[in-house]
Amino acid sequence: MYDLNEVRTFVSVMETGNLKDSAQELGVSKSTLSRRISHLEEALKQPLLRRQANRLIANEAGIKFLPFAKKLLHVADEGHKAVEELKDEISGSLVVYVHTTLVRGWFSGLMFDFLEEFPQVNIEVRTGNQLFQEIKSNDICVWVGEPVNEQLRSEQIGALCQGLYASSDYLERIGMLNHPTELNHYAWVDTLKNEQNNITLEHEIEGDVSFDLPQSRLTVDQYILHAEAIIQGKGVGLLPHYFADKHIKRHPEVFVSCLPEWQGKPLPVYLQYPFGHLPKKMQTLIQYLREEAKAFY
């Protein structure tokens, strides 16, 4: 394969006829030009130039190779221009990984609005609740919880504040919940448990209270299922207020907040994206996500 600098040097020498003028044109030394020409001739396995007085003149191989060299440089330059144009165009394809928690009620609406505003962009959305092993260094990821992918830049764009929720029917049957210490007397609808198998609730006056999670007959990893289980009276559960509020609007009489003065630890929302200079389409989506994530605070 030819080095483009060597090919560019050959074309320049063919046009100027000497190393001095080509060296000035390319901004390098004459020895560098001579070395590039030698490397190119080695790659082609035959000489391309011959000296005549103070000039360099192409031999038969050089004459035949010149139009191909010019075409090669033209294609390379066009390719470079095309890539450069991407930096200023909001067009092309993007792959976005989204935590399941954020899909319904936030990302789904955001996604359609973004596509309508930027019709030249295509988005492939991949969702999940486990760490994405296949994330590439040129993808975008919106994740709930601490990120671990070191190939991407991490930026916290929000936090999901949490509280306890239950159905009205369930509380009427079991009795009202007055303090976190009473949770062991209630059924518990759990998300994926942490390694310590406990949670911490915060109170402005009483401070933090940590306690072991009650035994749960239902463990889910999606807040949609989590909220539905609570609505159906399966027990008490910890939910992000942002999503609970949306469910309460749909179920105002059966889905209520318990102990509203006690809050679970906020869940951080991270945006991950590649290091370095980014194409305009990616910059635009990242800024879009930043603005929309203000709803979490």
Name the CATH topology of 160-267: D-Maltodextrin-Binding Protein; domain 2 (3.40.190)
**Quick one: pLDDT at residue 287?**
93
Please give the average per-residue pLDDT across 270-285, as a whole number: 88
Instruction: Tell me how far the alpha carbon of residue 214 is from its chain's centroid.
Output: 36
Residue-wise pLDDT tens digits, 147-203: 767 778 899 999 999 999 999 899 999 999 998 888 888 888 876 555 556 788 999
Residues of the chain with CATH 3.40.190.10: 92-157+269-296
Residues 265, 97, 278: CA angle, nearest 5 degrees: 105
The arrangement of secondary structure in 4-86, i.e. its CATH architecture, is: Orthogonal Bundle (1.10)
Residue-wise pLDDT tens digits, 120-129: 899 999 887 7
Q: What is the CATH number that goes with domain 92-157+269-296?
A: 3.40.190.10
**Quick one: pLDDT at residue 34?**
86
Lowest mean pLDDT among 42-46, 75-79, 107-111, 259-263: 75-79
Q: What residues contact residue 11 under an 8 Å CB cut-off, 6+ apart?
A: 66, 69, 70, 73
Residues of the chain with CATH 3.40.190.290: 160-267
In Å, how far are 28, 31, 56, 65 from 14, measured between CA atoms? 16, 17, 8, 11
Residues of the chain with CATH 1.10.10.10: 4-86
pTM, rounded to two decimals = 0.63
Looking at the DSSP bridge assignments, the partners of residue 65 are none
- Of 97, 126, 103, 110, nearest to 222 (Cα)? 103
Give the long-range contacts of residues 224-230, CB within 8 A, separation 24 or more. 224/104, 226/189, 226/191, 227/165, 227/255, 229/189, 230/165, 230/166, 230/167, 230/189, 230/255
User: Rounded CA gap, 266 and 224, in Å?
Assistant: 18
**Strand, coil or helix: 191:** coil
Burial class (CB in 10 A: 0-12, 13-18, 19+), 294: exposed
Residue-wise pLDDT tens digits, 194-242: 555 678 899 988 888 887 776 666 666 677 788 888 888 888 988 888 8
